[in-house]
Copies of this chain bind each other. A is one copy, B any other.
Amino acid sequence: MSTTTTIGVFDSGFGGLTVLRELLPLVPGAHYIYLGDTARLPYGSKSQATIARYAAESARFLESRGADHLVIACNTASALAMDEITAAVRIPVTGVISPVVQLTHDRYPGADTLILATAATVQSHAYRDSCEAAGLPATEKACPLLVPLIEEGWIDHPVTRDVLRIYLREALALCSPQVVILGCTHYPLIAPLVALTLQELGSNAEVIDSAQATARTVAHMLSQNGTPHPATTTPHAATCEFFATDSVEKFARLGSRFLARPLEEVQLVDLGG
């Protein structure tokens, strides 16, 4: 009998691959199944009911493929559909919001917190509510151009620097954060640029990455649930399967940037219209 853990990782697109990238060294012996629901992205513009239906279908797909732990590596689904996802499957589910808020609270209790996220995530106020429940005064800043810039591949680009400077200057006019949360799974790709721009603007806020925080939480949960901890087992290479609901060519091309390594074969899956 195999003791390999199978971790399902779900996002509407590619961004969740930054969570997978953080998971690989923390839980190296696991088998990973990643699903990007690329045919139906962006979730941000959809109604809550539609997002919940899509996310629940995606979660059931990953469970049906053998996942025994599910990571919702998608801010919109984490913000709007955690109840429906948890109800749709029988396996434990981890979203991206609780882990990063918990980590912020543990490290910097009571810290003034700035959350950078997409317009849809900001409109849901899921981060603000979660921060405030943890005693962290929170300001949310929508940064709608960052995802298109990152998807264009302009990671360390003068235009991206200019855009970031504009967004951060606007945000720092409203608050003096001690912590800046990257509340979108695309943003880890520009984390160094965010830290640099904050310094340029005279802020010494710490940057916390929701992908990293989520991966740590999952690794911790697995070790508590009796899954052999990577440090105590003979390490063997993680295996990965990738599924996308739209163009597998585009997924492999863009996804390799997010995963920071070439993607193995991507399989097309149809979850319906």
Query: Which residues of chain A have a CB within 8 Å of any CB of chain B?
Result: 38-39, 41-42, 45-47, 50, 53, 144-145, 148-149, 151-152, 158-159, 162-163, 166, 246-247, 273
Contacts and interface: CB of A to CB of B under 8 A. Distances in A.
B166 A159 contact: yes
A227 B181 CA distance: 59
A160 to B, nearest CB: 10
Contacts of A162: 158-159, 162
A184 to B, nearest CB: 14
A246 B45 CA distance: 8
Given A45-B39, A46-B39, A273-B273, A159 B148 contact: no
A47 B246 contact: yes
14 contacts: A38-B45, A39-B45, A41-B45, A42-B42, A45-B246, A46-B246, A144-B148, A144-B151, A145-B149, A145-B159, A148-B148, A158-B162, A159-B163, A159-B166
Contacts of A148: 144-145, 148
Given A144-B152, A145-B148, A149-B145, A273 B53 contact: yes
Contact of A152 (B38, B145, B152, B273): B145
Contacts of A42: 42
Contacts of A247: 45
Nearest to A38: B45
Contacts of A166: 159
Contact of A273 (B50, B151, B159, B163): B50
A148 B150 CA distance: 12
A50 B159 CA distance: 34
Nearest to A158: B162
Contacts of A45: 38-39, 41, 246-247
A119 to B, nearest CB: 9
Nearest to A42: B42
B53 A47 contact: no
A246 B41 CA distance: 15
A50 B247 CA distance: 13
Contacts of A159: 145, 159, 162-163, 166
A53 B162 CA distance: 40
Nearest to A162: B159
4 closest A-B pairs (Cβ-Cβ)?
A: A148-B148, A159-B162, A145-B148, A144-B152
